[in-house]
């Protein structure tokens, strides 16, 4: 049996590392080109129908108060705490209605909550899979028992949606989950859509919501900005918008059609999957060791020739 030299071992280790890197690259490519799933659940918010009653906010907090560990937020002027009056999304507020006003004649309400992206960045960056996307419903969900509190999801979200409960002893991330464990389970609809008295929030499958949105644009072209926000932004979202004012003036960011998650997944699947990074580092060290061995052996040969 042939004895394996140290040089042969190092060469084999380096080749193995290169092979694993190639496999990682293949996995990254396999995750590209994911198709939009229009069968997933979502919401269509029509800002032209919204009357600013905030019934959706009240219903959201009432239904998800216990499950989501939500608290009521009183306004500064409300010393008795009679009303829940959050000024922004927070560790206690999943859904928010705001008023944007340009003039007495030009103004609009807008609703903020999780966009339930087709390719969510929060899911992509979460190192422990506390953020997940359900394959059938498309709901982007959060598991407080898995979360380690790194808050990468907050940084990654292009819509600035996830919030952290800084004030709680046992904090968690707060975001809309379409009432998955509460109203959706019991009644088949999100609480906000169920209670909206003006029909500003429509709940259903993405394909039906898109059909409805485009029909409204066709029926009243002068009423709406001719665009369905969320149809293509960031790879597509399941929370869709119609409005009479430009969406950027309503606080909704201008985002390219490419999903930010594709970039982060490419990095993770290439470098981290199967401990590729440590293997790559070890392979590099092996290469340096082999190179140094050759240099040392060449030096020894020259020294022996000189002795002769």
Report yes or no: 142 and 175 within 8 Å, Cβ to Cβ.
Answer: yes
Q: Count CA atoms within 13 Å of residue 87 on its CB side.
A: 4
Q: Which two tokens stand for residue 129?
A: 């899979």
3 state DSSP class of 76: coil
Residue 157 among known ligand-binding residues: yes
Q: CA-CA distance, 125 to 160, in Å (whole number)?
A: 14
Indicate the helix (H) or strand (E) that contains 101: strand 96-101
Compute CA distances 214 → 31, 46, 144, whole Å: 30, 12, 37
Q: CA-CA distance, 106 to 245, in Å (whole number)?
A: 8
Indicate the helix (H) or strand (E) that contains 163: strand 163-164
Q: CA-CA distance, 242 to 222, in Å (whole number)?
A: 13
Residue 286 among known ligand-binding residues: no
Q: Residue written as tokens 């500064």?
A: 76
Indicate the helix (H) or strand (E) that contains 239: strand 239-242
CB atoms within 10 A of CB 107: 13
Residue 23 among known ligand-binding residues: no
Q: Binding site membership for [4Fe-4S] cluster: which residues?
A: 50, 53, 56, 60, 114, 117, 122, 126, 147, 150, 153, 157, 176, 179, 192, 196
Q: Binding site membership: which residues?
A: 50, 53, 56, 60, 114, 117, 122, 126, 147, 150, 153, 157, 176, 179, 192, 196
């Amino acid at each position: 049996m042939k004895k394996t030299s140290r040089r042969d071992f190092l060469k084999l280790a380096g080749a193995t590392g290169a092979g694993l890197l190639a496999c990682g690259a293949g996995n990254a490519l396999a995750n590209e080109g994911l198709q939009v799933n229009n069968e997933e659940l979502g919401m269509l918010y029509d800002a032209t129908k919204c009357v600013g009653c905030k019934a959706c906010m009240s219903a959201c907090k009432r239904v998800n108060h216990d499950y989501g560990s939500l608290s009521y937020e009183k306004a500064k002027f409300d010393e008795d705490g009679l009303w829940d009056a959050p000024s922004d999304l927070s560790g206690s507020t999943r859904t928010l209605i705001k008023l944007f006003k340009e003039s007495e004649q030009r103004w609009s309400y807008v609703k903020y909550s999780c966009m339930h992206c087709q390719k969510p960045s929060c899911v992509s960056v979460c190192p422990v899979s506390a953020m997940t996307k359900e394959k059938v419903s498309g709901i982007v969900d959060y598991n407080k028992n898995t979360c380690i509190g790194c808050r990468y999801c907050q940084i990654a979200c292009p819509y600035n949606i996830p919030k952290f409960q800084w004030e709680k002893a046992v904090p968690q991330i707060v975001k809309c989950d379409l009432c998955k464990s509460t109203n959706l389970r019991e009644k088949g609809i999100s609480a906000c859509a169920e209670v909206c008295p003006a029909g500003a929030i429509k709940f259903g499958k993405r394909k039906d919501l898109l059909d409805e949105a485009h029909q409204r644009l066709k029926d009243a072209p002068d009423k709406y900005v001719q665009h369905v926000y969320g149809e293509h932004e960031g790879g597509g979202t399941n929370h869709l918008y119609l409005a009479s004012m430009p969406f950027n003036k309503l606080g909704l960011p201008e985002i390219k059609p490419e999903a930010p998650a594709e970039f982060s997944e490419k990095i993770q699947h290439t470098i981290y999957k199967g401990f590729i990074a440590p293997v790559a580092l070890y392979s590099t060290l092996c290469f340096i060791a082999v190179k140094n061995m050759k240099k040392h052996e060449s030096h020894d040969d020259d020294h022996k020739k000189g002795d002769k």
